Amino acid sequence: MKKIFYVILFIAGLAGCIENLPLDEEIDNYKLINQDSTTVVFPEDFKSKILVVGFIFTNCPDICPLTTNNMHLIQEELKKENINQNVQFLSISFDPEIDKPSVLKKFAEVRDLDLSNWQLCTGSPSTIEKLLDEFNVLAVQADTIYLPNNKVQYYYVHTDRISLLDQKGNLRKNYPGSKIDIKEITTDIKELINAK
């Protein structure tokens, strides 16, 4: 009988492992530049807002657009719930050599992104490298394509990531960017709003 009790305890324990917000890590400040070429200090400039941060590169046609589309879906859900004003969205590029502010601006424009509370950021290669390291996001150049005009285009193997930061700028949770559960992150955002 004791064994059955332990099995039930084990199953209950597994269910209990799914904490809503398992992290509480302070993040250093990073000087970034957004799609309008305005300097921003992340996360300092956005404190008091909850941050939804996606990691992308604009030459990515498949996974990063999924992440971007999911951030758009989160934004739409927050609008429905009337809590969008509590949240700031940030897409941070891990390809600073290519993703200049004008490229990020065009990326947002052709997708008709609502930039009222969404910024797309890049930075110096060394800043981006440190930022990625702190978020434990890996981005490694992999396959290369040679275009007819002799230009080279490379792709990244990269971590599939959306991160949630609280109003103090602390990292609270990571999600798979291309497969994120919209309801899950919406619930987590509500929890942060209510905890304030």
Partner 1 sequence: MQNKILATILILFTIVFSFGCGEKEKPEISNTEEGLVINNPWFRPGSLNRNSALYFEVYNNTDKEDTLFAAESDLAKVVQVHETYNKGNDMKGMRHVDFVVIPAHSKLVFKPGGYHIMLVGLNKDLRPGDTGEVTILFKLNGKIQIRAEVKGK
Member of 9, 12, 41, 145 binding partner 1 (CB under 8 A): 145
Binding region for partner 1 (CB under 8 A) out of 16-24, 55-63, 81-89, 122-130? 55-63
Residues whose CB is less than 8 angstroms from the CB of residue 191 and which lie 6 or more positions away in sequence, other chains included = 20, 21
User: According to the binding rule CB under 8 A, does residue 9 interact with partner 1?
Assistant: no
Q: Which amino acid is at 34?
A: N
Sheet containing strand 25-26, strands side by side: 25-26, 170-175, 162-165, 50-56, 87-93, 118-122, 30-34, 39-42
* Candidate list 15, 17, 147, 152; residue touching partner 1; CB under 8 A: 147
Q: Does 63 bind partner 1 (CB under 8 A)?
A: yes
Size of the site for partner 1 (CB under 8 A): 43
User: Tokens at residue 179, please?
Assistant: 């497969």
139: which residues sit within 8 A by CB, 6+ positions away? 55, 57, 94, 95, 132, 156, 157, 158, 159
Q: Which residue has the tokens 């927050």?
A: 78
Residue range at the interface with partner 1 (CB under 8 A); choices 26-34, 37-45, 102-110, 124-132: 102-110
Q: Which of 80, 143, 150, 152 binds partner 1 (CB under 8 A)?
A: 143
The rounded distance, in Å, linking the Cα atoms of 102 and 105 is: 5
Residues that bind partner 1 (CB under 8 A): 1, 3-4, 7, 11, 58-63, 65-66, 68-69, 72, 103, 106-107, 109-113, 138, 142-143, 145, 147-149, 151, 153, 155-161, 176, 178-179
